[in-house]
Amino acid sequence: MSLKSKGIAATKPRVLLLEILWGINAPISVQQLYQSNSEKFALSTLYRVVNDLATADIIETFTSPDQNIWIEIKAEDGHHHHLYCESCETVIDIEMDEEFEASISDLRDQLSKKYNITIVDHSFELYGKCSGNVHCACNLD
């Protein structure tokens, strides 16, 4: 996948952000990213680049309950879900089994017919609080 193939120029900030995201290979909040890379990006530039890459369907974003924007490289299959820990502010990528995904697909079809609307995407985020111990899934990376 190249930026050019997605119809956007390969500017330094865009390339740098993608390199960082590929390196960590996990969701990260824009604030966390900025705090660890403030010498590389102005905050306004970072938000602009995030918007550009999300619009080009290269990264995905979601907003946590505390209003932080989380970003990551879009999954190769184009789809997965998240578990957000409110205690330690960690996001875990979760995979759902085929039966669950089939149920969601059926629900999308039903809602599409019922409301006469084409559903183009969906997201499924779970929110919880961990126990804070070292065996917590939030600490397993």
Which one, of 106, 119, 69, lies nearest residue 89 by Cα?
Answer: 69
pLDDT of residue 141: 55
Distance CA 17, CA 139 (A): 24
Return the CATH fold of 1-74: Arc Repressor Mutant, subunit A (1.10.10)
pLDDT of residue 134: 62
Flag whether the pTM goes above 0.85: no
Q: Which residue shows structure tokens 């290269």?
A: 58
pLDDT tens by residue, the chain, 141 residues = 678 888 899 999 999 999 999 999 889 999 999 999 999 999 999 999 999 999 998 999 988 888 999 999 987 766 778 888 888 888 888 888 889 888 988 999 999 999 999 998 887 888 888 887 666 666 655
Structure tokens at 48: 């602009």
CATH superfamily of 76-141: Ferric-uptake regulator, C-terminal dimerisarion domain (3.30.1490.190)
